[in-house]
Structure 1
């Protein structure tokens, strides 16, 4: 087993160019990992339980009973179903903040903020170019009302 690195051994990028390059490289790795997992899911059957977070990779979901409370109405049996990539690699979505130094997010205006997986938002904030597949979810072309009165006037 490989020894774990100390935090002190990790060297942070020193220049803005290094930060942007690291962000671009991270986004490419994220997309490559998702694409590779999707291809493997076509080759090997993957099932997810509809009642608990358990995932099964192989020809058929097992019949072992689950201790989860949600399974009690099914006599403890899992409810196996086909899975999608987000079941295997669940993205943690965060609100897209156009200006990190701007005003804080307001809960009432959350419909005007875009969402993206946290790793994508991190890379965008670091200066990476936004991948095409995330442009629609990040709502970059939507104006955010500055007051609640302005929000009420939006049709």
Structure 2
């Protein structure tokens, strides 16, 4: 299925394809990424979708924008906090549809066990994805995936 055929998350599929190219070495550290126009043609999507995918990769620290050079693959992996790793994992589950709108998220206790972290770390991860608007807290009931706009 091409990214164009999905209702939501085409940018997620594009970002994942680029992640695989980086991980496999097809796109080496320091090498430029294809231009937005090339990626638009390759994935049959509009420029905003490509920009969203590239923005996600930049937020993850896999690519960076260099003046006069465009977007390039970063030379080394950035240092990440544990809560960032957990938040990224939950965000990916939501974006891939593994956690659908209205689904309950795992509790803090479950995240503590699953990721072997302190409760405060699990709480920070949940706060980060809640701040991004991906989840909402229902007091007394837990946290749930937000409805997509």
Task: Tell me the TM-score normalized by structure 2.
Answer: 0.22
Higher helix share: 2
Task: Tell me the TM-score normalized by structure 1.
Answer: 0.21
Greater radius of gyration (CA): 1
